[in-house]
Amino acid sequence: MKILFYGQGLDSERWLDAIRQHLPTQDIQLWSPGLSPQWQADYALLWHPPVELFAQQTRLRAIFNLGAGVDALLSLPGRPTEVPLIRLRNAGMDRWMLEYVLYGILHFGRDFDRYRQQQQQQHWQPLQARARETLRIGLLGLGALGSRVGQSLQQLGYCVQGWSRTPKSIDGIDTYSGLEHLDHYLGHCDFLVNLLPATNETRDLLDAHRLAQLPRGAVLINPGRGDTLDPGALLAARRPATCAAPCSMSSPRSRCRPVTRYGHAPRSSSRPI
């Protein structure tokens, strides 16, 4: 069996050592443009491969994506669509996601941004925190990550609801589906957590109109892909307070300041993102 490895930004030597340890009898190669075209892999373990890889490797039987998000691979020209694509699931990413989302919820839900401001102004004024049961957390995307994050937040006592393309039934979470319900849904989110994949259908889904549906003071946490957010609309969204919290740097659109409340209406705070 021949196995090809390519991982943009990954420590290739470490990966190769580990793979060879587990599969000591297999022929394992790191992909490079100079790899002999005679050497054709059966299986490819990939993270953000270049277009040339698929032009060179034409006998693949399966592609293993070294992560949960397959957005980049799906949109790569030349990917052999007839070859099965397998991605990681339950590989620990859901916990990282949960921590990231919780950080955003705690930061704004418990007013740590305002306490930080007060500290800078050498001022101390206790603020009334809202009970977590009253904080409406809205998830966009109820897939492998969205559903796990949602269930964990629900178990922590938050009021969780979720929206996806097709109807879902998840214990403890109110679910909605379809574009026709999105505006109404957004109007009931104190925190909006975007865990949608980047596809042609989701590109700029959160545009000016949709951001304007969020209640005043709402916070947007974006651990998904930046492409689903219209950056101009986000910057212009002065009425609903929004926060961009991307943990993916794969898109230039994601390069906003992480976790920033923007233009919160009741108390003035308009730091630019």
Ligand X SMILES: NC(=O)c1ccc[n+]([C@@H]2O[C@H](COP(=O)([O-])OP(=O)(O)OC[C@H]3O[C@@H](n4cnc5c(N)ncnc54)[C@H](OP(=O)(O)O)[C@@H]3O)[C@@H](O)[C@H]2O)c1
User: Where on the chain is the footprint of ligand X (CB under 6 A)?
Assistant: 68-69, 71, 93, 141-146, 164-166, 195-199, 201-202, 223-225, 247-248
In the complex, minimum distance from the CB of residue 123 to ligand X, in angstroms, rounded to a whole number? 36
Nearest approach, Cβ of residue 243 and ligand X (Å): 15
Q: How far is CA 215 from CA 176, 185, 204, 267, in A?
A: 18, 11, 20, 15
Of 142 and 243, the one with the shorter C-beta distance to ligand X is: 142
What is the spatial distance between Cα 98 and Cα 145, in angstroms, rounded to a whole number? 9
Residue 89 Cβ, how far from ligand X at the closest point, in Å?
7
Query: Which residues, in sequence order, are bridge partners of residue 47?
Result: 7
Looking at the Cβ atoms of 224 and 263, the one nearer to ligand X is 224
Q: Are 261 and 217 in contact (CB under 8 A)?
A: no
CA–CA separation, 240 and 218 (whole Å): 6
Return the DSSP state at 227.
G
When the beta carbons of 71 and 113 are compared against ligand X, the nearer one is: 71
- Provide, rounded to whole angstroms, the least separation between the CB of residue 40 and ligand X: 29
Choice between 117 and 251, CB closer to ligand X: 251
Smallest distance, ligand X to C-beta of residue 152, A? 13
What amino acid occupies position 69?
G
Question: Is 6 in contact with 63 (CB distance < 8 Å)?
Answer: no
Token pair, residue 188, equals: 């009931």
Give the whole-angstrom CA distance, residue 111 versus residue 124.
13
Q: How far apart are CA 254 and CA 200, in angstroms?
A: 17
The residue whose Cβ lies closest to ligand X is: 143
Q: Which is nearer to ligand X, 40 or 248 (CB)?
A: 248
